[in-house]
Structure formats: C-alpha cells, structure tokens
Amino acid sequence: MLRAKLSSLLTMGTVRRIHRGGGYSCISSLSSLSHSCLQKKPTRTKGCSESRTFHHCSAIHPSIREHSGRRSFSLSAAAIVNSAPVHVQPYLRLMRLDKPIGTWLLYLPCTWSIALAGDPGCLPDLGMLTLFGTGALLMRGAGCTINDMWDKDFDRKVSRTASRPIASGEISRFQALVFLGGQLSLALGVLLCLNYYSIALGAASLSLVISYPLMKRITYWPQFVLGLTFNWGALLGWAAVQGSCDWSVCLPLYFSGVMWTLIYDTIYAHQDKEDDIKVGVKSTALKLQDQTKPWLSGFAVAMMSGLVVAGVNAEQTLPYYAVLTTVAAHVAHQIYTLDINKPEDCWKKFVSNRNLGLLLFLGIVTGNLWKTRREVLLQNEEELRDSHCST
C-alpha cells in the first residue's frame, strides 16, 4: 500500500514538473529517487542530493520548454546568456547582457541625435546607428562592471543583487578589472571610427561613467548624474554625423534626455527604496517620497519643452510634432497610473520607456522625410509668385 502511494505521488510530481518546463534529463533523476525510496535505502541524504539535481536540471535549459511533447526555443536575452558556456555566463551577466533595457535607454538618445542630424528627406545613416548600437552595448557593460566593483559590499546585503557575479564571488575584482579593460578597449575601437571632434567629445564622458556609481553615497540625486551620463549620445550622435555640435539643437535634446532619465530612473528607484535605506544609499525615490508624482510631472514638462525647442531649431516638420503629442500622452499615463509602492508596477512603467524612446525616434525620422515634401511645396509657391510678378 505504501509503495503504491509513493509511486503515485512521484509520478504525479514528475508530470507536474515536466509540464512546468523541466527537461528530459530530470525524469531520470526522479526515477532514481523513486527507486531509492522503494528499495528502502537511506533516503535523507540521497533525497536531498536528488532534489538539488532536479532543481539544477530545471535551471540548465530555461530556454527549452515542454509542451505536448514538442520543444520550443526562446530567443530572449536571458535565454541566450543561459545557453552560453558556463564559464562565460558570469561575465555576460556582469555586463547585464541578460537585461537589455539599460542598453536601449543608453542607445536611444544616440538614435535621436543621429536622425535629427540627417539630411532633409533622407533616412538616418544605418552604419552610424549600428556603430553607436555596438558602442552602447559595450559602454553599458563597462558601466555595470564599474558599478558592481564599487558596490560589491552593498550588493551582498540586498537579496535582489546578492547573486551578481562579483558580490556572489563568481568573479573576483581583479577578473572584473581585466574584463573592464577589454570592454573599454573595444569601445575605444568604436570611438576611433568617428571624427576627431567626436573622439574628444566621447572621451570626455568617461569621467561620468566612472564617477556615477559613487553618487548614491554622496547625494540624493544620483539619477541626475545618471541622466548626464546616459544621454551623452544626444551630443555625440550629431557630432558624428555633422562633424561638430549644433548647440541650438544638441543642448535642448540633451536636456530633454536628462529629464527623461530623471523620470524613468526615479520610478525604477522606488523598487529598491527599502533596501536602499537598509544599506545606507541615497536616491531620488527616497528624497521625493510621496511628492514623487508632482516632481515627475515637472520633469515631464521640462522634457517636452526641450524636445519642442530642439525640433524648432532643427526645422522639424508636422509628423515630428504629432509624435511629440503621443510621447507626452505616454509620459502622462506613466505618471498618472504609477503606484510607487508596487515594485512590479514600477518595473512595468520603467521598461515601457523603451517604447517611448523608439516612438520619438520614429517621429524624428518621419519628420525628416517630410522635409523634402515641404521644401518642394515652398519651391512651387516661389515659382508661382515669380510667374505672377513677371506677368
């Protein structure tokens, strides 16, 4: 009777776990566990070992799921990292390759600037967009490596960050330093593909990259310093295309990007405010507290004002301003519906800013393409006037 019940329970457990995504190899672990139980061998140590084996099996192939006997493969960033060689995975996680949202938020201001600097009626330079995308990936990875090297002791005290490679001991500080050197060397290679003005401008941002992780120890406004760092591409993109910055366009665009970062990273910081208090670090979430929404609204007004000024100075057209209204509505919805006391809602609002940035990029591109049509219409009007004058 006891053996029958045990067999039934183990069979049901196997089915449940396979349905939830366990791999085929896990079945053999359960079979051996069942055999050991039914043979009345010492099971306490064996059972614990097999339980850990099963848990490990479930973690080995998170990108493979079992549905009706068929395997489906996920191409998410996390799945790609998990499919990499085991000794490589800690380095990929150190540069946050499994969490690409940060790379997007660093890259998008570059795309705005590159698109604004394009010739009227033309699409943005695809080669330049690719080059800046590579640079964003490398520099975001370098920034995360520097951050984790500074925050090793803090990260160990917070459950969300305790598993980071340096904090958990998977990677030593020396190994991280060597890896950082590699990332910065590759990023330098990307930078050297640009003109001399852009090389000097890009090199100037390195001090911000290095100092930002320390700001949370010094000021309640580390998000402002992050904004200065993450939106440097708003200056660099224009310079890479045009050879130098047009400050009447680049400064309002850069200012808008900084305000945007204050919005999304303050929202992000509300996820960690309890842990930040425990470990003694500062953030705008702790500074603003219940006054967060009014402040975010002010940042949003400043952001949209800067985008309007940049558009006027860049001689943008109707599609650009039409998209700006949608961008404004997106930001307003984020702020109005935000629940600062629900981490899952803060995360949802935070990641939605990738779509906001892509939407603004689309508005700039369509506005630039519209310039050709406007110029043709203006030219036709001038010709009509000349013909009337001649008659």
**Position 292 in a domain:** yes
For the chain, percent of residues with pLDDT exceeding 70: 76
Residues 32 and 159 in one domain: no
Provide the mean pLDDT of the chain.
82
Residues 45 and 99 in one domain: no
Can you give the pLDDT at residue 261? 98
Residue 98 token pair = 């499994």
**11 pLDDT tier (thresholds 50, 70, 90):** very low
Q: How confident is the model at residue 27 (pLDDT cuts 50, 70, 90)?
A: very low
List, for residues 76-91, the tens digit of each pLDDT value: 888 889 999 999 999 9
151 shares a domain with 30: no
Mean pLDDT to the nearest integer, 216-236? 96
pLDDT band at 242 (very low <50, low <70, confident <90, very high): very high
C-alpha to C-alpha distance for 224 and 258, rounded to whole angstroms = 7
pLDDT band at residue 110, thresholds of 50, 70 and 90?
Answer: very high
Residues 42 and 182 occupy one common structural domain: no
Dihedral, CA atoms, 140, 284, 296, 326, nearest 10 degrees? Answer: 10
* Backbone dihedral angles phi then psi of residue 64, each to the nearest 5 degrees: -110, 125
Q: What pLDDT, on a 0 to 100 scale, did the predictor assign at position 15? A: 36
Q: How confident is the model at residue 380 (pLDDT cuts 50, 70, 90)?
A: low
> Could you tell me the two tokens for 162?
């305790």
Q: How confident is the model at residue 39 (pLDDT cuts 50, 70, 90)?
A: very low
Residue 184, domain member (yes or no): yes
pLDDT of residue 285: 95
Note whether 31 and 129 are same-domain residues.
no
- What is the C-alpha separation between 108 and 113, in angstroms, rounded? 9
Q: Which of 15, 33, 67 is the last residue of a domain?
A: 67
User: Do 296 and 167 share a domain, yes or no?
Assistant: yes
Coil vs helix vs strand at 65:
strand
Question: Would you state the structure tokens that stand for residue 375, as one six-digit string?
Answer: 């110029």
Confidence label for 391 from pLDDT (cuts 50, 70 and 90): low
- Which pLDDT score, from 0 to 100, does residue 213 have? 86
- Residue 211 counted as domain residue: yes
- Range in 58-67, 186-195, 203-212, 379-388 the model is least confident about: 58-67
Taking the C-alpha atoms of residue 288 and residue 265, their distance in angstroms, rounded to an integer, is 13
Judgement on whether residues 108 and 219 belong to the same structural domain of the protein:
yes
Distance CA 192, CA 198 (A): 9
Confidence of residue 136 (pLDDT cuts 50, 70, 90): very high
Query: Which ranges in 192-317 belong to alpha helices (H)?
Result: 196-203, 206-218, 222-230, 233-242, 247-269, 273-279, 284-288, 292-313
Q: Are residues 219 and 363 in the same domain?
A: yes
Does a structural domain hold residue 72?
no
- Of the pLDDT bands very low, low, confident and very high (cuts 50, 70, 90), residue 372 is confident
Report d(CA 147, CA 161) in Å as an integer.
Answer: 12
Is pLDDT at 5 greater than 80 in this prediction? no
pLDDT band of 3, cuts 50, 70, 90 = very low
* Structural domain count, the chain: 2
* CA torsion, ordered 186, 192, 198, 203, to nearest 10 deg: 50
Residue 159: per-residue pLDDT:
78
| pLDDT of 374 strictly over 90 | no
Residue 24's pLDDT band (cuts 50, 70, 90): very low
Strands 70-73 and 64-67: antiparallel
Task: Please check whether residues 41 and 173 belong to one and the same domain.
Answer: no
Rounded-to-integer distance, Cα 114 and Cα 240, Å = 8
Residue 383 resides in a domain: no
Domain contains 151: yes
pLDDT tier at 43, thresholds 50, 70, 90: very low
Nearest alpha carbon to residue 303 among 282, 331, 322, 281: 331
- CA 199 → CA 138, 194, 236, 237, distances in Å? 16, 6, 9, 11
In angstroms, the CA 157 to CA 161 distance is 8
Residue 41 belongs to what domain range?
2-67
Q: Is residue 265 domain-shared with residue 205, that is, in the same domain?
A: yes
Band of pLDDT at residue 389, cut at 50, 70 and 90: low
Residue 47: the pLDDT is: 37
Per the CB < 8 A criterion, the answer to whether 90 and 165 are in contact is yes
Q: How confident is the model at residue 233 (pLDDT cuts 50, 70, 90)?
A: very high
With CA atoms as reference, report the closest residue to 261 among 281, 234, 290, 241. 234
According to DSSP, the residues that pair with 66 across neighbouring strands are: 71
Q: What is the mean pLDDT of residues 357-375?
A: 90
Domain assignment present for residue 359? The answer is yes
Q: What local confidence, expressed as pLDDT, does residue 251 receive? A: 98
180 and 138 in contact (C-beta within 8 Å)?
Answer: no
* Residues 216, 222 contacting (CB under 8 angstroms): yes
Identify whether residues 160 and 16 lie together within a single domain.
no
Query: Is residue 73 domain-resident?
Result: no
Structure tokens at 333: 């919805």
Could you tell me where the beta strands, DSSP code E, fall in the chain? 64-67, 70-73
What percentage of the chain has pLDDT greater than the value 90? 66
* Residue 176 belongs to domain with CATH number: 1.10.357.140
Q: In the prediction, which pLDDT does 23 show?
A: 39
Q: Are 253 and 116 in contact (CB under 8 A)?
A: yes
Residue 16 has what DSSP assignment? Answer: H
> How far is 137 from 118, CA to CA, in rounded Å?
23
pTM of the model: 0.77
Lowest mean pLDDT among 27-36, 189-198, 276-285, 315-324: 27-36
SS3 72: strand
- Does one domain contain both 124 and 185? yes
